[in-house]
Amino acid sequence: MTSLPGFTVDIDQNPYLPAGGRDVSAIVTVTAGQTGDEPRPAGDSAEIIIIDRSNSMGMPISKVVQACAATAAAVDVIRDGAWFAIIGGAGSAQRVYPAGGTMAVADERTREEAKQAVRMLGLRGGTAMSAWLRLAYQMFQSCPATLRHAILLTDGPNIERRNRRLDAAIEQCEGAFRCDCRGVGTDWQVSELRKISTALLGTVDIVPDPEGLAADFQEMMRGAMSKQLPDVLLRVRTPQQATVRFVKQVAPAIDDLTTRRVQSGPQAGDYPTGAWAPGETRDYHVGIQLDTPDIGQEMLAARVSLLASSPDGQQVLGQGLIMAERTHDEELSTRINQRVAHHTGQEELADAIRDGLEASKRGDEETATARLGRAVALAHWAGNGDTARLLAKVVDVVDEATGTVRLKKKVAAADEMALDIRSTKTVRVKEGLP
């Protein structure tokens, strides 16, 4: 059987429940191994860069100039032998490179041809993202690569937001490729790009200044080129007396996978995690609800496994056990596992930011102040300095420990959007905690 990189699976939890307790929480830390039998060949990777070429990209002209420069910089990162293409997006989608047929294979000649084609990119029309995604889907289907990744850049809202075309296109693309989304400037809609990136297992972020695009595109492309293992599934299997309440990725960013469960057996469900790079680590928060076992009886609450497809079939790459035991000993049942508490706090932090920003938009200053103040306190407690700095651009912090804040009278749109987008980015618990 072909050997794929293994995964280590570490479980952090307090397995002891009080008498009558039913809910088990565990943090599952998953780390991909460094190597398998041999590195995956470059020809198993495919990249598509989708550039907004609507008229608004020319206002100011620096947006399209920097977008083209960023695309060229990303093309230079694509390694020899990988498949790639460039799409121009407006009211329809255009093959920028290659002009027709299948995708191109990266080498010195094709990279230079692609950069020349991008320099000729013209602007016209509006923004119909469903057409962009559908063309990307078609082009990915034309090549044999299994590690498929796209970068989508826009500067404005989707003109189709009042119909279901975008939703249908996203549904078609789910599982076919991953997509990182970027918005340049402040005239685009966070909710639209977040919808795409969440469904397609990618990231979303704001690039307020077009000059920052090249570095961001290079970083995304390097990350994509580092992936070696496609379409890894997180399988949670429970005994008959247990059910899954939720499964969430909680590091490096929060992503609720609960509704994406695909039943794989009578007591088992699979959750998509996308592609992995060797040595990559992610944390998942798994919640299990139990029927009542006897006091003192240790039981299996869930078996968590990582699986991937190989030429020889589906392989289990690693697994861990979530256990539970009811006890009358209050000292045992009331212990707080610091890793569970840490990630639960960061989930609450993301919720508080979202609630506060929504309240601010509807003019409810009391709720906005309370929720954003709670966010400040949680960021302080979690040691999440990046989020704390973003919050400080939206509120004046009087006391971070207690979450005492005042709303700023004027907030830059880019700062508010950045806080909204990056609220789900998390930090890991400090080493040395029990």
pLDDT tens, position by position, 15-37 = 999 988 899 999 999 999 976 55
Which domains does the chain carry?
7-39+229-330 (2.60.40.3670), 42-226 (3.40.50.410), 338-422 (1.20.120.1690)
Q: Which residues contact 358 (CB under 8 A, 6 or more apart)?
A: none
pLDDT at 293: 62
Average pLDDT of 418-432? 84
Question: Does 337 have pLDDT greater than 50?
Answer: yes
What's 159's DSSP letter?
T
348, 36 contact by CB (below 8 A): no
* Distance, CA of 406 to chain centre: 31
pTM over cut 0.85: yes
Q: Please state the rounded mean pLDDT for residues 110-124.
A: 95
Determine the pLDDT at residue 434: 43
Contact call for residues 80 and 104 (beta carbons, < 8 A): no
Task: Determine the pLDDT at residue 11.
Answer: 97
Q: What is the pLDDT of residue 313?
A: 72
pLDDT attached to residue 309: 78
CA 136, CA 340: separation in Å to the nearest integer? 39
189 vs 37: which has the higher pLDDT: 189
Answer left, alpha or beta for residue 339, where phi above 0 means left and psi between -120 and 50 means alpha: alpha
- Rounded to an integer, the average pLDDT of 200-228 is 96
- The answer to whether 149 and 224 are in contact (CB under 8 A) is yes
Tens digits of per-residue pLDDT, 288-328? 999 866 677 889 999 999 999 766 778 999 999 999 998 99
Tell me if 350 sits within 8 A of 423, measured CB to CB.
yes
For the stretch 243-266, pLDDT in tens is 999 999 999 999 999 999 999 999
pLDDT reported for residue 36 = 56
Backbone angles phi, psi at 263, to 5 degrees: -65, 130
Give the whole-angstrom CA distance, residue 319 versus residue 165. Answer: 39
- Residue 362 burial (C-beta neighbours within 10 Å; 0-12, 13-18, 19+): exposed
Handedness of CA 242, 250, 271, 316 (dihedral sign): negative
